[in-house]
Every structure is written in C-alpha cells, then in structure tokens.
Structure 1
Amino acid sequence: MAEASRKSQLGGPHTKEATEKGDNLECAVCLQNCVHPAQLPCGHIFCFLCVKGIANQSKKCAMCRQEIPKDFIEQPNLLEKPYQREASEGFDGGYQWFYEGKNGWWQYDERTSREIETAYKRGEQTSELLIAGFLYIIDLENMLQLRRNEPGRRRKIKRDFATIPKKGIAGLRTPETLVDSTEVEVSESSRGPVTPSNTPRSPTSGRESPGEDRELQETIDRITSLQLDTVLYDLH
C-alpha cells in the first residue's frame, strides 16, 4: 500500500528544496532517480533523456498530457547541470564511455555509462539499454551502438578518459561548447549576402586614389573621341 502510494506520486509535486537541488527526484517514466532532471512548463520533472523520448514520440507530458514546447529539448529547464558532477567522474582512474556524434564525441549520462561499464567488466559482448525511449544494443566486441529495431542506425562508442575534449553529456552541451556554438551562430548571422564569384563586382574599398580616377576618365574620353571620329568619317 505504501509502495503504491509512493509510485502514484512519481513525477508529481516535489519539495522546494529537493527541486532546487535536483536531488532525490524520481522519474515517472523510468521509475528511477532522475538523471539530469528537467522540469517541463507544466511543473512535472523527468530525466532529460526520458523527456527527450517523450518529446520525440507523443510530444506531451507523460503525467498531465500538456504539450511539450518545440524548443524544450534544445533549451531545457535543467535542475542540475550535467557538468556539475559528471564531468570529472569516471571508472578505474577516470575512464568514461562515449558515443560518436557529428564533429566530435558525446559522453553518456552517468546511469548509461555505469551500465555499459558493468557489462564491460563482466566480459559481455552485448548489452541492451533503454535510451531516450528507444532500445539500443551496445556491441562491446565491435564498439558500436545500434538501435534494436533499426540496426542501420549505429554509432561508434569508446571507453576513454573523462577529460578528453567532448561536445557534452547525453546531448547536453558543456558551457565551453555552448559558447563556441553561439559564437559561430553570431559570426554566421552577421555576414552579409555572399556575392557569387562569377558576378562582376564594383570596388569595395571605397578608397580609390585621385590618380586612378583621372586615368579612368581619360580612357573614357579617348573611347568617346574614337567613336565620334568614326561617325564623322562615315558621314563623309
């Protein structure tokens, strides 16, 4: 009875202190302690990856069915930043598990990394994990992550030091990569239209010397004079 009562409150209101710290929060999706707890606008709190799975599928809160904003996954309301605790933690002197993304590596979240490490230490060739609402097979023999129902969707994985350069943790960017990506966006947005290389362009310096102007005018005058001479010759 007590257990049923406890489960009925999962994902519901939490104490202010626990919410602010992000501690001892249980996720109503995976029924475990929240990893990177994220609070939706409706107030319900879940693991970030659990919210990501919901957003990719039903697009509604698992508790109250309120719609999840389209930009929530890119700009989540996190109660605990992933780099506050996980950035320096690791196994056997600082190792962590990573999966390959575009232009870099992402570190797995603490729970997933721990489950992969357990299978690795046991000498298992494969392990099956639930990540963001999808079942994945972790192939430790070939160091690959494959989606169970779509084996064509695969990523390389590796066990490496937690201190290596990375894009972030479990899809959440670290402050350094967040700043870098913002600078790139600002730099690109500040650029004007690029003129095609085969399009004639006028001088852009705006500092042509008076001598260049006189030479240009003299050339125009000579061409005009030649044209007039030709016309007069034809008339005679």
Structure 2
Amino acid sequence: MSATAGDPTLLDVLTLEEVDRDLYRSTLVFPDPLPLYGGQVAAQALLAAGRTVAPDRLAHSLHGYFLRSGDAARPTVFRVDRDRDGGSFSARRVVAVQGGEVVLSMSASFQAPTAGPDVQVAAAPAAEDPAECAPFTLPRLFTMEGRTPSQPWQAAHMPTRFWSRSTVALPDDPLVHACALAYLSDIGTGLSALPEDEAAPGPTLDHAVWFHRPARLDAWVLMDLVPHTVSGGRGWYTGSVTTRDGVLAASLTQETLFRPGRNPFRPGR
C-alpha cells in the first residue's frame, strides 16, 4: 500500500494500548470497505501475547482461527490468558474481541534461547534478486513493498511467490519482527494457482505460522505459497518465508473457504 505523509505505517499497526494486566487494545482505526485484514489482527494478537512473556523468549509458533469478520474502523480488544510458563516455553491464548464478540482466537508459544543443531534440509525457492524484479503492490498492507520474481504457476491470477519488506525501519526487537512477519503471512494465497472459472478462495478459516529463525522484516524476505488440496468447500496451502540469503525464517499453512463464485474479499471485486 503506497503511503503519503500522515498515512498509517506498520509501526502504527504494531502499537497496542495496555488497558489492564493481560488486556490490550489496538490504537489504529481507519475506514475500509472490506472486513478487517486477518494478518493485522493476528499480528496484534501475537504482540499482545508477547508482551506477557519474558523478553528473551521468542515466538516460535501461532495457531489462529478467524471466527467473525472484524471492522477496521473500530478498535480491537485483546485478552491474553497465561496458560503456562515452563523452564523453556511459555504458552499463551489470546482472543480478539470487537463489539463483545470474538473475531479471532489464537494460541501462541514462546521459547527461551536453546542451543542445538541448526539444519535446513531444502534450499530456498528459486527467485531473482528483488533488485531485478518488477514492483508488486501488496494490497491492504501499510508501508510494505513487494517485488515479483518468475512465477512457478504461470496461470495464477495473483503471484504466489514474491519478495516483500517494510519501507519503515523497525526496532531491534525480535517480537516486532515476528509480528511483522505474521502481518505479511496472511496476504496472498497459494490457491490463486487454481482455476477460477468455477470457484475461488474466500475468507480465511484458520492460519498457523512456525518461526524457525529470526529475520528482519525491514529487509527483503521471499514468500512462497504452494497449493495442496481443495475439498468440502475448503482449500489448503502451505508457504515458506526465506531471507535474501536463503535462510528459512518461517513456515506457514492456511485453510480458506473455496466455494463457487468470485472472491468477494479480493480488492477490485
């Protein structure tokens, strides 16, 4: 989303007001004809959860269910439950509420620094350097720019492989960068590689991210989304997020509605 002076930034998205212990409220509101972007509420839920754990414990996974459409023009309240703080892991549950109704429920887990092997089995997906790629406008994202390398699915109606980074500098806080990755992770869909003549991907049902290694989101990362199956009115795909030097930062998976008709949530429709 292009920005001009006074427009919201990613840092505005990642700003929460602490209302009480384990209770937070978003501060960014803006008019939007579409329902609240899922990546925004997921990123803010992860931020709320991360505010309740020790600073050295890094996010390693989130699992969220999108239960209702939200409204970008009103604040979202996040309630955090501290399920457990163990010797190495902290488990949290978060509900995001608007108008007294839950729009997202999420489980998140955080881990203390742990020594051990570091193995990446598969190489990063093939992609030209972002400096060589055409600009790509990432819809609905504040101050995030995109570039499109060669596409693995030539018939896809929107890119399934693309570079992205924040155009505003982010602080040296691993939680902020994990939340920025969560914000990015819900954009696009691997199901765009499938034919649209009879059905199209719609709203997200559930979403999960595993954070393998820290990555700065004000540097280029490559998103690669891969479709796997459609059944029962639902479509499922997986994805990866790798750094510019080929390090696997995160993996994700998502299931969306996949029903006859055009996707009413796609911009321009």
TM-score, normalised via structure 2 length: 0.22
Larger radius of gyration: 1
Higher relative contact order, chain-length normalized (CA < 8 Å, sep 6+)? 2
Larger relative helix fraction: 1
Larger relative strand fraction: 2
TM-score, normalised via structure 1 length: 0.24
